[in-house]
Amino acid sequence: MLTDLDEAGLLDYRSAVVDPEDFDAFWTAQIQRAAEHPIDVRATAVDSLLETVDVFDVRFAGHGGHPIRGWLYLPRHRATPIPGVVQYQGYGGGRGHHLESLLWSSAGYAHLMMDSRGRGSGYRRGATADPVGPSGPTVPGQMTNGIEDPAGHHYTRLYVDTARAVDALRAVFDRTNGIGRSKR
């Protein structure tokens, strides 16, 4: 990666951007609204034919209670508790095929690859629709979807979905003390 700062400069860098006064209150309210909906995590084992990783098709309630999909990857030979990673793909990407993202689970982590609502038309396929859909001005893609209302903006919903994905991963382990290993 190219940068105009050396390592010491990067470590010392502090942004001049100041958060709006209502920043914390806004995000606290968004997370509280999402928590009004039960997380409702459902995990279905996928016959992946893998020998070292168990794969689950996961669904949970995101922003507005909307169903969000993802892949949960667990190392087959694991002791609980194990650390977890929640990941979502960048612009235009979805959760992809269940065999695409095996790095974290192969390294011993629980890995939830969250599908990004309304995405997956680009380099990674997705399975999560966006029931809110476009509102207000928009161009191809999601950048301006809902831009007239910060609480309804696509990225607000996506970021809340991500926070809920962390809750979903926790719920799976709280409920079952870790999902059971496959019976292979």
How do the domains of the chain map onto residue ranges? Answer: 39-128+137-176
Strand residue runs (E) in 22-88: 42-46, 53-61, 67-75, 84-88
SS3 content of the chain, % helix, strand, coil (to 5): 30, 20, 55
Q: How confident is the model at residue 182 (pLDDT cuts 50, 70, 90)?
A: very low
Residue closest to 43 by CA, chosen among 22, 69, 18: 69
Residue 54 has pLDDT above 90, yes or no: yes
> In this structure, what token pair is assigned to residue 115?
């599908």
Q: Please tell me the predicted confidence (pLDDT) of residue 107.
A: 94
**112 CB burial (10 A radius; 0-12, 13-18, 19+):** buried
Q: How confident is the model at residue 143 (pLDDT cuts 50, 70, 90)?
A: confident
Other Cβ atoms less than 10 A from the Cβ of 98: the count is 19
- pLDDT: is 125 or 67 the higher one? 67
Q: Give the pairing of strands 84-88 and 67-75.
A: unpaired
Question: What's the pTM value of the predicted model, to 2 decimals?
Answer: 0.81
Residue 176 has pLDDT above 60, yes or no: no
Q: Please tell me the predicted confidence (pLDDT) of residue 136.
A: 54
Helices then strands (H, E): number in the chain?
4, 5
- What fold is seen in the domain 39-128+137-176? Rossmann fold (3.40.50)
- pLDDT: is 47 or 175 the higher one? 47
Q: Percent of the chain scored above 90 by pLDDT?
A: 56
Q: Please tell me the predicted confidence (pLDDT) of residue 164.
A: 96
Q: What mean pLDDT is predicted for residues 21-27? A: 97
- pLDDT: is 11 or 145 the higher one? 11
> In this structure, what token pair is assigned to residue 113?
């690859």
Q: Please tell me the predicted confidence (pLDDT) of residue 184.
A: 35
